[in-house]
Structure 1
Amino acid sequence: MSKALSKRFGEESMDRIITWLEMQKISKDVALLDIGTGNGVFLIELAKSGFTNLTGIDNSSTAVELAKAIAEKEEVMSLKLQVADFLHPFPKLSQYDICIDKGTFDAISLSPDHPAEKRSLYQQSLHSVLKEGGMFLITSCNWTKEELVNHFSEGFEMLQELPTPKFQFGGKIGNSVTALVFRRK
């Protein structure tokens, strides 16, 4: 993915999710987990929007250190940032009201080592960390709506598809990105 496309994907994804959360009048103290937080910028934007119970995990210690440095520079000290492998969550990662994924499922799916097994572990982990009735917001540039609905059909119901940019090629219209909201059953 080019830097420009990656930047646009990230910024548009953040804006789309924050707008959706605000339109749903989601409580600002909701327990929210950012899966694969990377540099933590999304959590910082959520904090600046008034959200207060924010946790970000990433399996890269370098990414988590960078996220902590950026949060400190932005004077956002309330974030909980930790190194964790989402495919093998530990007890502290439990009972979130909302989980958000902006590309981590894509990265896991592209793994050369046992991708189907990793997708299954991801779904199990998601089910274990998300409260019953909790919401899962996923943004993917690799999976279609139908594929995501099929993958998360066990234990989750799709609530809404968020609007994303469209393109036309060969007379067909498609989306370059898919953004869906699921609820844990």
Structure 2
Amino acid sequence: MSTTPPEAATPAHLDPSELGTKQYWDNLYATELSNHDSNPADEGTVWFDDSDAENKMVAFLDDAGAELGLDRATTSALDLGCGNGSLLFALRDDGWAGRLVGVDYSERSVRLAVAVGEGRGADKADVEFTVWDVLRGDFAVIVDPPDAAGWDLVLDKGTFDAVSLSDERDARGRRICEGYGERVARLLRPGGKFLVTSCNWTEKELEAWFGRKNTLDGGDSGGARLRQVARIEYPSFSFGGVKGQTISTLCFEKVDA
């Protein structure tokens, strides 16, 4: 059964799953590290590869980046739950030359991403990876640079999905996914962009989680909010007269509340 969060504007919670536990991801990346050590060509899982989400996210940034105020030469990008670093390597391959940093709360994920980068060559090795927990980490450690306004671009390809499957509670007694948007807003500079891809939430639900003002009031957001400014379109299907997508990607902008 799903339960409804205290804020009526947000969707009903997903049932908890082992995919929402750190142990699951530590175990998965232990396996992927071992596979990579045995065969460097095996770089691990690229999430949502069946939907071509990674290429679509990069293409979206190519097409819309300048209009969104993102300069290919200077944009700083932070990837939350970086896994094997695939998305950041794709951006570097595509010519995004600013500071690219991936964070994950699994130390084994970070080790894998570093190893993959080193195997791909010098220009990929300059992509940075570090262990950091988006829900509990010290902001002073990860803002770009320390004590600055924040990141130009924050990326999420499936991390909010995993967070949404955790049954952990924060200090306010909420499911931890309820504070995710507040934390993302703190990471962004004013006007910074948040590009999030999900297979668990529809566009309407992502808008409800991140785009409504009251989801970011107080907490860690500093009074800012996230406003939807763009979307990525995927092949759709129709069932029972309802049209939908198997995956959703929305782009939000940090604005004053």
TM-score, normalising length: structure 2: 0.67
Decide which of 128, 132, 135 is 2:190's aligned counterpart: 132
Q: Is the 8 A contact 2:77 2:101 kept in 1?
A: yes
Q: Which runs of 5+ in 2 are unaligned?
A: 1-44, 144-149, 214-224
Decide which of 101, 113, 117 is 2:156's aligned counterpart: 101
Name whichever of 153-162 and 133-142 sits farther off.
153-162
Decide which of 202, 215, 233 is 1:163's aligned counterpart: 233
Name whichever of 175-184 and 16-25 sits farther off.
16-25
Q: Report the equivalent of 2:249.
A: 179
**Aligned to 1:92, what secondary structure does the other structure show?**
helix
Q: Report the equivalent of 2:10.
A: none
Q: Report the equivalent of 1:89.
A: 137
RMSD: 2.0
Decide which of 79, 92, 95 is 1:47's aligned counterpart: 92
Q: Report the equivalent of 2:31.
A: none
**Aligned to 1:147, what secondary structure does the other structure show?**
helix
Amino acid at match of 2:229: L
Alpha-carbon distance in structure 2 between the residues aligned to 1:146 and 1:7: 23
Give a deviation string over 1:76-135, Cα, whole Å, max 9, x none. Answer: 121110011000232122210000101000100011333953123211210111111100
Relative to 1, partners in 2 of residues 1:87 and 1:51: Cα closer, same or farther, differing over 3 Å? same
Shift in Å, 1:13: 1.4
Name whichever of 108-117 and 31-40 sits farther off.
108-117
Name whichever of 18-27 and 112-121 sits farther off.
112-121
Shift in Å, 1:6: 4.2
Q: Report the equivalent of 2:49.
A: 7
Q: Which runs of 5+ in 1 are unaligned?
A: none
Shift in Å, 1:7: 3.0
Q: Report the equivalent of 2:83.
A: 38
1:74 counterpart = 2:116: no
Amino acid at match of 2:105: N
Alpha-carbon distance in structure 2 between the residues aligned to 1:100 and 1:140: 12
Q: Is the 8 A contact 1:89 1:125 kept in 2?
A: no
Q: Report the equivalent of 1:16.
A: 56
1:56 counterpart = 2:102: yes
Greater fraction of residues in strand = 1
Q: Is the 8 A contact 2:107 2:131 kept in 1?
A: yes
Amino acid at match of 1:43: L
Relative to 1, partners in 2 of residues 1:129 and 1:5: Cα closer, same or farther, differing over 3 Å? closer
Q: Report the equivalent of 2:111.
A: 65
**Aligned to 2:141, what secondary structure does the other structure show?**
coil
Name whichever of 105-114 and 36-45 sits farther off.
105-114
Alpha-carbon distance in structure 2 between the residues aligned to 1:120 and 1:97: 23
